């Protein structure tokens, strides 16, 4: 069942991104760094989405860190366009926010020998 839901999500994201599902790669949130500009935009967009989905309570005074944590439950890299797609389950549906290619990266950790 979970694989079917995952496949449906990838198909929907691919259609929305105008790409093939094979171009969408799931990432771990610990492997991603997002620019401060994108974090600010994510906070504003997510508050709007949460207010629409949950009514007046919405995100309220939820800190941006908590909002990002919510939307980092599913992260996908669109290989074709370079965007990061952040998804969250809200009120029984999946809502996703795109992060433009220049506003996120996968930092290199450790040393090269």
Element containing residue 40 per DSSP (H, E): helix 36-54
pTM for this entry? 0.80
- Are 97 and 85 in contact, with CB atoms under 8 Å apart? yes
**pLDDT(35) > 80:** yes
**pLDDT(97) > 60:** yes
Q: Which two tokens stand for residue 13?
A: 């994201």
- Percentage of the chain lying above the pLDDT 90 cut: 35
- Are 38 and 100 in contact, with CB atoms under 8 Å apart? yes
- Are 88 and 74 in contact, with CB atoms under 8 Å apart? yes
pLDDT of residue 111: 62
């Amino acid at each position: 069942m979970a694989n079917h839901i995952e496949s449906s999500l990838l198909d929907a994201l691919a259609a929305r991104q105008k790409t093939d599902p094979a171009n969408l790669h799931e990432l771990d949130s610990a492997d991603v760094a997002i620019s401060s500009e994108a974090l600010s935009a994510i906070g504003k967009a997510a508050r709007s989405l949460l207010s629409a989905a949950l009514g007046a309570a919405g995100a309220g005074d939820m800190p941006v860190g908590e909002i990002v944590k919510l939307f980092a439950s599913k992260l996908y890299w669109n290989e074709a366009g370079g965007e990061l797609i952040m998804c969250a389950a809200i009120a029984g549906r999946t809502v996703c926010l795109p992060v433009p290619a220049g506003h996120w990266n996968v930092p290199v950790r450790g040393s090269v020998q």
